[in-house]
Amino acid sequence: MDTAGTHLTGGSTGAGAGAGPRPAPGPRRPSPLRGQSAVVAVVSVGGALGACARYGAGLLWPTAPGAFPWTTLVVNALGCAVIGVFMVVITEVRPAHRLVRPFFGTGVLGGFTTFSTFAVDTQRLLTHHQVRAAVLYLAGTVTAALLGVALAAAATRGVMRARMR
């Protein structure tokens, strides 16, 4: 025990004689991030590409202050439809390289679709006292996104079944 009444637990503390040898370290657990640099890299590159595409959509179809944010709604619905097609293709039709899903699904489509702009657009509508438009935008975006995924996935499955015949 030390002067504070606590037990010393092995190892040299630099206090001099009496301190025992430091116990051998146990086996090291591998870091959960070990071997993930390629995944991080492809998600980063894909995200940059998707964000550039979304930015381009905003330049081609700008939303005036206080106007209904059609561009963000269409981008999010389109991105969800594309992910519906993509997930059916890589999970049910043709297995893809392990980096395709993080690159395209998480990176490109994650960068293209945008929850943050969706939230800011909603806040802007509310700031302009357009409560009805904000509620319609919230409900419309979620509905369009869910329908986009479901209908695109179902259509892709139908096309794949027809091609198999």
Which residue numbers belong to the known binding site? Answer: 110, 113
Which string of b and e fits 68-104 if b means at least 16 CB within 10 Å? Answer: bbebbbebbbbbbbbbbbbbbbbeeeeeeeeeebbbb
Binding site listing for Na(+): 110, 113
Determine contact, residues 85/105, Cβ cutoff 8 Å: no
Percentages helix, strand, coil for the chain (3-state, rounded to 5) are 65, 0, 35
Q: Tell me which residue of 50, 65, 76, 61 sits closest to 121, measured CA to CA.
A: 65
